[in-house]
Amino acid sequence: MTDQTLLFSPVGVGTLTLPNRVVMAPMTRLRAPGSIPSDFVADYYAQRAGAGLIVSESIMISDTSAAYMNAPGLFADAHIDPWRRVTDAVHERGGRIFAQLWHSGRVGHTSLQPEGQAPLAPSAIAAEGTIHTATGRQPLSVPRALSLAEIAGVTRAFGKPPARARAAGFDGIELHGAYGYLIDQFLQDRSNRRTDEYGGSLDNRLRFLLGLVTACQQEYGRDVGVKLSPANRSHGMGDSDPVGTFSFVASKLDELDLAYLHFMEPFPEDIAAGCKIGNVMPMARRWCRGPIIANGGFDAKRAMAAIAVGQADLISFGRGFIANPDLVDRLRAGIPCADADPETIYWVPEAPLERGYTDYPAHR
């Protein structure tokens, strides 16, 4: 098998056999008014069902995860049927789709929280940056540190959406442990200053994520993946020893018979912000034996090379799938990719939901 054909060869992930190694990465698109996926969401994912695996956009596990307006949820039974329309549409096109479960933690604003409460976090340390609210962009609010009882409550909250995901027809679950959201906040010592059993040592900082994996595997068994971003500095994230921290995290997760670990490479802005990890993939393979999905700025050539040398088993593409619903066919045939309109990546108020979403054509 040549390097060029490896990307389009079958691979086992959890209990599934995927027809190719091109993964549609989770991408926030904000087409779910009131947390309910619009009808266009089914069309959007179905158009991209040629991917070996689709990982959905971040799905809120509770209303306290409301970092972004019009983000979808799976924390109520009312969310099941709208997501069932999505999974049915993907399956009818021969695709497979995992639900990415997510809690934003300190990345939020009081105006988006129930009763205007402070966002939740491991420690009362504000994230860096601003967020869009009904009154415009605002600085991220100072969070409230979770009590031990509340951590148990959030863990239980993560344990409920998998049953709804199963009822909605998802093929598996991905836990969003990246990009500076709640799971990541527990893992890294710049955001986790706790002195109890959820802070301090690596074992303690990993405890929250392990509890969530256990909760999800009770419903989905081996069909659970985890996404990590060892190099990402979004929202003011950082760790005093990122290589040591994430090598420990990945090696421990590797013992749990997960479907995969999904690793993000650093962005240029992460390097500029002082990130100490320049290339995740060579380290990722040393950290774990199971399937690895690589993410971050890959084109077809880099993707094929990473798989050929064994640094990754699958490659996830984000922005490439926005303007190219037939991305797999384009990559296989060497057809140039279209560029996405940056103005419509997220929903534009007063604009039709389908604009910049389902209106990109396939190659003719």
Q: Is 115 left (phi over 0), alpha (psi -120 to 50) or beta?
A: left
Considering the entire predicted model, what is its pTM?
Answer: 0.96
Q: Is the separation of the CB atoms in 83 and 74 below 8 Å?
A: yes
Of 45, 68, 179, 181, the catalytic one is 181
Helix (H/G/I), strand (E/B), else coil: 175: strand
Residue range 261-279, pLDDT digits in tens? 999 987 777 777 777 777 7
Task: Calculate the alpha carbon distances from 173 to 84, 221, 275 in Å.
Answer: 15, 10, 29
Burial bucket for residue 148 (CB in 10 Å: 0-12, 13-18, 19+): exposed
**Residue 1, pLDDT score:** 54
**Residue 275, pLDDT score:** 72
Helix (H/G/I), strand (E/B), else coil: 163: helix
**Residue 347, pLDDT score:** 82
Residue range 64-75, pLDDT digits in tens? 998 898 999 999
**Per-residue exposure over 12-51, b if at least 16 CB sit within 10 Å of its own CB, e if not:** ebbebebbbbbbbbbbbbbbbeebbbbebbbbbbbbbbbb
pLDDT beneath 50: ranges in the chain: none
357 is catalytic: no
**Residue 2, pLDDT score:** 58
